[in-house]
Amino acid sequence: MNAITKIWPGLKALDKLSFLVEKGTIHGFLGPNGAGKSTMLNILVGLTQPSEGSVEVSGTVGFLPENPPLYENMVVDDYLKFVAQIFKMEKLIIRTQIDEIINQCSLMPVKKRLIRNLSKGFKQRVALAQALINNPDIIILDEPTVGLDPNSVIEFRNLILSLKDKHTILFSSHQLTEVDKICDDLTIINKGKLIESGPKEKIKKMFGSKQVLNIELLNWNTKTQNDMSNLFGFERMEVASKNNHTYIKIYLNSLQDVRSQISKYLVENNCGLVSMNEERLDLEDVFKEITQG
C-alpha cells in the first residue's frame, strides 16, 4: 500500500498513508474513531477509489465491513449459497465449501434460521463466513468485535486466531486489548496520518519501555523516600495512604528489572513490605501516548 491519499469534499481523510502487511500474519490496524480506518480498508478492497496512490494486493480478498452485509430475510444457509454464487464459485464445490465454513464458524445450530432472528454474535459470524466463502488469501475485518458481549468477543477472537494458518488477516480496531492479544504486527494511524507500523513488540518497546511498580508498605517516611530516590533514580513517584497502609507507585527510568533490589532495601530498612507488583505499560497507554502526544 503506497502513499494513499483520500480527500472527501472538505476533509482530508487519509494523508499519504503507506504500510505493508506481511504474508501469513495477523495485522492490527489501530486508530481512534474517525482516524480513517474504514476509509483505508474500503480503498484496500476496492470499494472506494483513492484520490492518489496505489494499492497492491497479492491474492484474493475477503472483506467483513464495519456494518455486516446481511440479508435479514434469508436463511443462513441460503445466504451463504447466494454469496458463493455471486462470487462465481463452481456449483460442485459450493455445498462442501459452505458446510466446511459453517463448521469452522460454528454456525451449525443456526444453519436453518432466518438471519433476522439471530443474536448479534451469530450475525457477526455469518458475516465472517461470508468473507471466507471463496477461500481468500487475505481477510480484511473492519472492527469485527464492536458491539459483541465479552463472551462472544472471546469466541470471535479465537475464531480469528484459528484462521491464521490459512489466511493473512488485516483487521482494524480501536480496542487495544484485543489487538494486543491476537496481532503479530501493528499499524497505528491518527487523523489520516501514519504514526507507526511494524511488529507489535517493537512498537510496545518504543513507547512502553518503562517499568512501573506498585508497592504496599506499613512504615513510610520522607527519609526513606529520599534515600530510595537517590539509590534507584525514579522518574516519578506517587504516594497515597489508606488504613495505615502506604501505597506507592514508582515510575522507573531504567529498562532493567530492579524489583529484587527494591524489595531488599525495603526489608532491610524495616518498612514492612506487604506487597509489590509490576505494572507493564500496555497498548492502551501506548495508544494514549501516541494519539494525544
Q: Which residues bind other proteins (CB under 8 A)?
A: 45-49, 63, 65, 67-74, 82-83, 85-88, 130
Report which of 280, 107, 130 is spatially closest to residue 205, judged by C-alpha positions. 280
Residue 61 or 188 with smaller CB distance to other proteins: 61
- 47 by DSSP, 3-state: which? coil
Please state the closest distance from residue 180 (CB atom) to other proteins, in A: 29
Query: Is residue 110 helix, strand or coil?
Result: helix
- Residues in Cβ contact with 21 at an 8 Å cutoff, skipping those fewer than 6 apart: 1, 27, 138, 168, 170, 185
- 168 vs 246 by CB, closer to other proteins: 168
**Shortest Å, Cβ 88 to other proteins:** 4
State in angstroms the smallest separation of the CB of 198 from other proteins. Answer: 29
- Provide the minimum distance between the beta carbon of 41 and other proteins in the complex, in angstroms, as a whole number: 11
Comparing CB distances to other proteins, the nearer of 115 and 163 is: 115
The vertex-204 CA angle with 208 and 5, nearest 5°, equals 120
- Regarding beta strands 26-30 and 168-173, do their DSSP bridges make them parallel or antiparallel, or are they unpaired? parallel
Q: Which residue, 45 or 258, has its beta carbon nearer to other proteins?
A: 45
Shortest Å distance, C-beta 9 to other proteins: 10
Grid cell of 94 as nine digits: 459450493
In the complex with other proteins, the residue whose CB is nearer, 114 or 281, is 114
Residue whose grid cell is 470499494: 47
Q: In whole angstroms, what is the distance from residue 80 CA to residue 255 CA?
A: 52
